[in-house]
Amino acid sequence: MALILGYRNLIDRCAVSGGSYEATLPLGNIQDRRLSKRARTTGLSGGRVDITLPPNGSGLPYVTFVAVAGHNLTDTGTIRVRGYEDSSYATAIYDSGTGPVWPVVADYGATPGLAVVLPDHGAWLPCWRIDLADPDNAAGYLEFGRVFIGQQWEPTPPDFGWSLGYEDPTVVEESLGGAEYFDLRRLYRVLKIGFSYLEDGEADAALEIQRVAGIGGELVVAWDWGTVAGRSFIGRMRALNPLESPDPVRFSMAFEVRETVA
Instruction: Report how far apart, in Å, the C-alpha atoms of 228 and of each of 1, 66, 81, 84, 96 are.
Output: 10, 18, 21, 31, 20
Cα separation, 81 vs 249, in Å, equals: 39
- Is pLDDT larger for residue 75 or for residue 30? 30
What's the pLDDT score for residue 124? 85
Query: What would the mean pLDDT of 206-212 be, rounded to a whole number?
Result: 96
What's the pLDDT score for residue 9? 95
Query: What would the mean pLDDT of 121-127 be, rounded to a whole number?
Result: 85
Architecture of domain 3-153: Sandwich (2.60)
Cα separation, 3 vs 255, in Å, equals: 12
Cα separation, 204 vs 199, in Å, equals: 9
Q: Is the pLDDT of residue 67 over 70?
A: yes
Q: Is the pLDDT of residue 105 over 70?
A: no
What's the pLDDT score for residue 1? 60
253 secondary structure, DSSP code: E
Band (136; pLDDT cuts 50, 70, 90): very high
Band (59; pLDDT cuts 50, 70, 90): low
Q: Is the pLDDT of residue 230 over 90?
A: no
Q: Is the pLDDT of residue 211 over 80?
A: yes
Band (227; pLDDT cuts 50, 70, 90): low
- Is pLDDT larger for residue 95 or for residue 107? 95
What's the pLDDT score for residue 107? 64
Percent share of the chain, pLDDT over 90: 82
What's the pLDDT score for residue 106? 61
Q: Is the pLDDT of residue 172 over 70?
A: yes
- The mean pLDDT value of the chain amounts to 92
pTM score above 0.85: yes
Q: Is the pLDDT of residue 113 over 80?
A: yes
What's the pLDDT score for residue 226? 61
- Total number of residues shown for the chain: 262
**Domains of the chain, residue spans:** 3-153, 163-259
Query: What would the mean pLDDT of 210-235 be, rounded to a whole number?
Result: 87
* H helices present in 156-251, as ranges: 200-213
User: Are the C-beta atoms of residues 147 and 49 closer than 8 Å to each other?
Assistant: yes
